[in-house]
């Protein structure tokens, strides 16, 4: 029997200003706009087999991310893979993106970063 859900299609991201967010994601994450409406937009990575980011303009203050009630560590909902963790970390800092501490355990690790709307994302060099 085929899997009913073989992969992720998109990740929905709440944003306050659609135009500003589109430019941020194009510049910072080098995403391509595949659809742009009045209040929403779909962006994708260069690899077309990955889920896209669906930006939805909203007045809601809810954002991506949560705090572990046991450790009080803030976690991202979405982690991006990079083979060049330290290079990405330095590049985001150079572009004035707010980042968390870079955590390395030997050669593997990760860190968090925030978009314009305070949505928390993760970056790691572990591919599952």
**pTM (two decimals):** 0.90
Evaluate if residue 1 carries a pLDDT over 60: no
φ, ψ at 34 (rounded to 5°): -105, -15
Tell me: do 1 and 47 sit in the same domain.
Answer: yes
How far is the C-alpha of 8 from the C-alpha of 49, rounded, in Å?
9
Residue span of the structural domain in which 4 resides: 1-62
Tell me: do 124 and 77 sit in the same domain.
Answer: yes
Which of 43, 30, 13, 28 shows the shortest CA–CA distance to 99? 28
Judged by DSSP in three states, 35 sits in strand
Per-residue pLDDT tens digits for 40-73: 999 999 887 889 999 999 999 999 999 999 999 8
Per-residue pLDDT tens digits for 85-94: 999 999 999 9
CB atoms within 10 A of CB 10: 13
Tell me: do 95 and 84 sit in the same domain.
Answer: yes
């Amino acid at each position: 029997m085929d899997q009913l859900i073989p992969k992720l299609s998109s990740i929905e991201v709440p944003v306050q200003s659609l135009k500003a967010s589109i430019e941020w994601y194009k510049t910072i994450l080098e995403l391509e706009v595949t659809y742009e409406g009045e209040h929403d937009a779909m962006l994708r990575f260069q690899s077309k087999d990955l889920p896209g980011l669906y930006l939805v303009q909203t007045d809601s203050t809810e954002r991506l991310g949560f705090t572990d009630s046991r450790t009080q560590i803030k976690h991202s909902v979405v982690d991006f893979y990079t083979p060049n963790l330290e290079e990405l970390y330095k590049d985001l800092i150079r572009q004035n993106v707010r980042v968390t501490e870079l955590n390395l355990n030997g050669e593997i690790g990760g860190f968090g970063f925030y978009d314009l709307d305070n949505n928390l994302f993760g970056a790691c060099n572990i591919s599952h």
